[in-house]
Structure 1
Amino acid sequence: MGRARPARDGELAAMVRFEVLGPLRVWRGESELDLGFPQQRALLALLLVRSGRPVPLGEIVEVLWSGRPPATAANVVRRYAVSLRRLLEPGLPPRTPGRRVLRRGGGYLLAAEPAEVDLLRFRDLVKRGTQQVAAGRPEDAVREFTDALSQWRGTVAQGVPEAARAHPRFAGVNREIVHATVTAADLALGHGGAARILPSVRKALALDPLNESLHARLVLCLAACGAQTDALAAYETVRRRLAADLGVVPGAELGEAHTRVLRRQVRQPGRPVASYARPAQLPPDLTVFSGRAAALAALTEAADAADTAAGVAATVVVGGMPGVGKSALAVRWAHEAAARFPDGQLHVELGGFDPVRRPLDPAEALRGMLVSLGVPAGRLPDTEDALAGLYRDLMAGRRALVVLDDAAGPEQVRRLLPSTPGCLALVTSRQALPALISCGARPLRLEPPSAHEAEELLARRIGAERAAGEPVAVREIAARCGNLPLALAATAARAVGRHHFPLAALAGELRAGSGLDAFPAGVRAAFLRSYQALPPEHAELFRLLSRHPGPRITPASAAALTRRPAVEVHARLGELADGHLLTEEEPARYTLHPLLWSLADELAEEHTAAR
Structure 2
Amino acid sequence: MTVRPGPASAGENTLRLSILGPLRAWHRGTELHLGPPKQRSVLALLLVRAGRPVPVHHLVDSLWDGDPPERAVNVVHRHVGALRRLLEPGLTQRSEARVLVRAAGGYRLDVGEEALDLHRFRTLRDAGQEAADHDRPGEAADLLLAALALRSGPTAATLPPGLRSHTDFAAVDAEYFRAAQAAAETALVSRRTQQALPLLGQAAQEDSLNEVLQAGFIRVLAAEGLTARALEQYRRVRGRLADELGVDPGPELRAAQADVLRGTVSPTADTPPRTSAATAATTAPTASAPPASPASEGRSPALVRPAQLPAALRVFSGRRTEIERLDSLLPAGTRTSVAIGGAPGVGKTTLALHWAHRAAHRFPDGQLYLDLRGYDPSGDPLTPSTAICHFLESLGIPSERVPAGLDSRTALYRSVLAGRRCLIVLDNARNAEQVRPLLPGGPGCFTVVTSREQLTGLVASAGTSLLTVDVLTVAEAVDFLTRRLGRPRVERSREAALAIIEHCGRLPLTLAVVCARAESRPGTPLAEVAAELERSRDSLQAFTLSGTSDPVTDTRSVFSWSYRALTGQAADAFRRLWLSPSPDVSPQAAASLTGLPMEKTRQVMSELHRANLWIEYGSGRYGTHELLKRFGQEMSRAEDTTASVEGARQRLYDHYLHSAHHASSAVNTHREHPTLPPPAPGTQVMTFTGTAGTADWLHHEMPALHAIAVRDTYHGEGVRPWRLAAVLELILDRSGRRQEQTEIQSAALLAAQRAGDAQGQAQMHRSLGFALGRTQQGDQAARHLEQALVLFAEAGDLLGEALTHRYLAFLRNAMEAHEQALTHYEAALALYRTARHELGIASVTNEVGWTRILLRDFEGAVEYCQRAVDIARRVGNRNVEAASWDSLGVAHHRLGREPEALRALHRALEHYRRLGDAYLTADTLVHIGNVHRSASPGKARQAWTEALDILDSLGHPEGELIRERLKDIDGGSR
Distance 1:568 1:382 in 2: 40
SS at match of 1:333: helix
Distance 2:380 2:297 in 1: 45
SS at match of 2:318: coil
1:64 corresponding residue in structure 2: none
- The one-character-per-residue Cα deviations of 1:185-240 (angstroms, maximum 9, x if unpaired) are xxxxxxxxxxxxxxxxxxxxxxxxxxxxxxxxxxxxxxxxxx99849xxxxxxxxx
Shift of 1:555: 1.2
> Structure 1 residues 549, 279: closer, same or farther in 2, change over 3 A?
same
Distance 2:105 2:479 in 1: 71
Distance 2:431 2:106 in 1: 41
Distance 2:581 2:541 in 1: 23
Note the 1:172-571 alignment, pairs <5 A: 230=298, 272-274=300-302, 276-305=303-332, 308-309=333-334, 314-356=336-378, 358-439=380-461, 440-513=463-536, 514-520=538-544, 522-571=554-603
Distance 1:75 1:516 in 2: 76
Shift of 1:78: 7.5
Query: How many percent of aligned residue pairs carry the same amino acid?
Result: 40
Distance 1:279 1:314 in 2: 19
AA in 2 matched with 1:333: W
AA in 2 matched with 1:340: R
Shift of 1:325: 0.3
Shift of 1:73: 8.0
Aligned-pair Cα RMSD in Å = 3.5
Shift of 1:359: 1.1
Distance 1:574 1:492 in 2: 34
Shift of 1:277: 2.0
Shift of 1:76: 8.0
SS at match of 2:309: coil
SS at match of 1:394: helix
* Contact 1:289–1:457 (8 Å) recurs in 2: yes
* Contact 1:363–1:384 (8 Å) recurs in 2: yes
- The one-character-per-residue Cα deviations of 1:350-402 (angstroms, maximum 9, x if unpaired) are 11112246211211111110011111223222222221111010111112111
TM-score by length of structure 2 reads 0.35
Distance 2:628 2:474 in 1: 18
AA in 2 matched with 1:516: L
* Contact 1:351–1:406 (8 Å) recurs in 2: yes
> Structure 1 residues 328, 77: closer, same or farther in 2, change over 3 A?
farther
Distance 2:582 2:297 in 1: 71
AA in 1 matched with 2:531: G
TM-score by length of structure 1 reads 0.55
Of Structure 1 and Structure 2, the greater helix share is in 2
Given the alignment, which residue of 637, 640, 659 partners 1:608? 640
Distance 2:503 2:630 in 1: 12
1:198 corresponding residue in structure 2: none
Distance 2:534 2:301 in 1: 61
Task: Number of aligned residue pairs: give it.
Answer: 366
Shift of 1:420: 0.4
Shift of 1:607: 2.0
Shift of 1:334: 0.6
Shift of 1:545: 0.7
1:129 corresponding residue in structure 2: none
Distance 1:559 1:486 in 2: 31
Shift of 1:520: 0.7
> Structure 1 residues 75, 334: closer, same or farther in 2, change over 3 A?
farther
Unaligned runs of 5+ in 1: 1-38, 44-56, 62-67, 84-89, 91-159, 161-226, 232-271
Distance 1:75 1:374 in 2: 60
> Structure 1 residues 386, 471: closer, same or farther in 2, change over 3 A?
same
Distance 1:539 1:582 in 2: 12
Shift of 1:75: 7.0
- The one-character-per-residue Cα deviations of 1:548-598 (angstroms, maximum 9, x if unpaired) are 122231112222222333444244324322321123344123222111011
Pick 1 or 2: higher relative contact order, CA cutoff 8 A, min separation 6: 1
Shift of 1:530: 0.5
* Contact 2:418–2:444 (8 Å) recurs in 1: no
SS at match of 1:352: coil
* Contact 2:429–2:450 (8 Å) recurs in 1: yes
AA in 2 matched with 1:466: R
* Contact 1:474–1:503 (8 Å) recurs in 2: yes
- The one-character-per-residue Cα deviations of 1:244-263 (angstroms, maximum 9, x if unpaired) are xxxxxxxxxxxxxxxxxxxx
AA in 2 matched with 1:595: L
SS at match of 1:515: coil
Shift of 1:474: 0.9
* Contact 1:555–1:567 (8 Å) recurs in 2: no
- The one-character-per-residue Cα deviations of 1:390-422 (angstroms, maximum 9, x if unpaired) are 101011111211110000111111110111012
- The one-character-per-residue Cα deviations of 1:279-337 (angstroms, maximum 9, x if unpaired) are 111111112011001111111122222xx34xxx6121100000000000000111111
Distance 1:490 1:347 in 2: 25
- The one-character-per-residue Cα deviations of 1:473-492 (angstroms, maximum 9, x if unpaired) are 11111110100011011111
Q: State which drifts further: 576-585 or 282-291.
A: 576-585
Q: Does 1:581 align with 2:616?
A: no
Distance 1:73 1:493 in 2: 78
Shift of 1:608: 2.1
AA in 1 matched with 2:626: P
* Contact 1:538–1:572 (8 Å) recurs in 2: yes
Distance 1:292 1:228 in 2: 36
Distance 2:443 2:477 in 1: 37
Q: State which drifts further: 470-479 or 576-585.
A: 576-585
Distance 1:400 1:429 in 2: 21
Distance 2:108 2:436 in 1: 36
